[in-house]
Amino acid sequence: MSDNAHGAAGLTAVIQRGWFTAGALAILTLIEYVVATTLDRPTLWLLPFIVLKGGLILEVFMHSSDLKTLDGGNA
Amino acid sequence: MAMTTTPEAGHSQAEATYRPAANRLGLWLFLASETFLFAAFISSRFVVSGTEQPEHLNQGLALLLTLLLLWSSISAFRAEAAMAHDNRRLFQREMLTTIVLGLLFLVGVGIEFNEALTDFPANSIYGSAFFMLIGLHAFHVLTGILALGVVWNLGRLGHYGSDNHWPVEGVVKYWHFVDLMWVAIYPTLYLFGGS
C-alpha cells in the first residue's frame, strides 16, 4: 500500500516537473516568435532562446545529467 | 544443495546488469553523431544564403508545428514516466498521443512543402537549404514514429516494466532529440530573417 502510494506520488511529481518544463518551453517559443517578428535583425536576440530551450530539453526531458553515471530512467 | 556459479554465467549476469548503461552510452554517442549531421545542414543554410529568407514563409504554420512537437515531447515524457512507475494504461495512452501528434506534424510539413514549392523553387539557394533541412528532420520524425509504434505495441503486450524499460527510455530520448533539433531548425529557417 505504502509502495503504491509512494509510486503514484513519485509519478505525479515527475509529470508535474514535465508540465512545468513544457510550459516554460511554450512561453519561450511564443516570446521568441514575437521577438523575431518585431525586430529587423533578430539573430543575436534569438540565440539565448535556442540555448535556453535546448538546455531545458536536454536536462529535463533527456536526463543529460545522467551521463555522469550512466544511470538513467524517468523515475 | 549449494549452488555454484560458473565464470561464464557470472560474466553473462554482469553483462546483463551492465547493458542498460552501455545502451545509454551508445544512444548518446549515436545522438552526438546525428547532431553533427544536423549541424552541417544548418550551417549550410547560413553559408549559402546568410540570414535572408523569402517573404512568403508560412509563419503561423511553422509556429503551430513547433507547438505540436513540444506537445508531443511532454506526452512522450509522460509515457516514459508512466512505464517507469508501472502505469501501463497511462503509458499506452501517452505513446499513442505522441504518435498521433508526430503524424500531425508530418501532415503539417506536407502542407508546408506544398505551399513553399509555389513560393520558391527547390533549386533556389534558400529553397535547397529549406527543403533539405526540413526533409532531413521530417525523415527523423517518421523513423521516430515507427520506433514509437513498435515500442507501444510491445509495451501493450506486456514486454516492459519499471525494472526493464530501457527500450521506452531509448525511443523517448530519440524523440526528444528530434524535438531538440527542431528548436534549432525553426529559427534557422523561419525567424532569423526578421520582420
Q: Are A40 and B194 in contact (CB under 8 A)?
A: yes
Q: How many domains does chain A have?
A: 1
| d(CA B117, nearest CA chain A) in Å | 23
User: Across-strand partners of B161?
Assistant: B164
Count contacts between A and B (CB, < 8 Å): 116
Domain contains A64: yes
SS3 assignment, position B161:
strand
| d(CA B146, nearest CA chain A) in Å | 20
Residues in chain A with CB shorter than 8 Å from the CB of B169 are 72-74
Residues in chain B with CB shorter than 8 Å from the CB of A62 are 173, 176-177, 180
ipTM above 0.95, yes or no: no
* Cell numbers standing for residue B30: 549515436
For residue range B109-156, list pLDDT tens digits in order.
999 999 988 888 888 888 889 999 999 999 999 999 999 999 999 999
* C-alpha distances in Å from residue B179, one per residue of A38, A40, B172: 25, 27, 11
Domain contains A19: yes
Domain contains A38: yes
Domain contains A41: yes
* Residue of B67, B28, B40 lying closest to B173 (CA atoms): B28
Q: Which of A20-34, B48-62, B123-137 has the highest mean pLDDT?
A: A20-34
SS3 assignment, position B159:
coil
Checking if the pLDDT of B28 tops 50, the result is yes
Checking if the pLDDT of A68 tops 90, the result is no
Q: Residue A10 is part of which domain span?
A: 2-68
Q: Are A32 and B187 in contact (CB under 8 A)?
A: yes
Tell me what the mean pLDDT of segment B18-30 comes to.
85
* Cell numbers standing for residue B143: 523513423
Domain contains A27: yes
Domains of chain B (ranges; CATH) run 67-195 (1.20.120.80)
What pLDDT sits at residue B20?
76
Tell me what the mean pLDDT of segment A38-44 comes to.
88
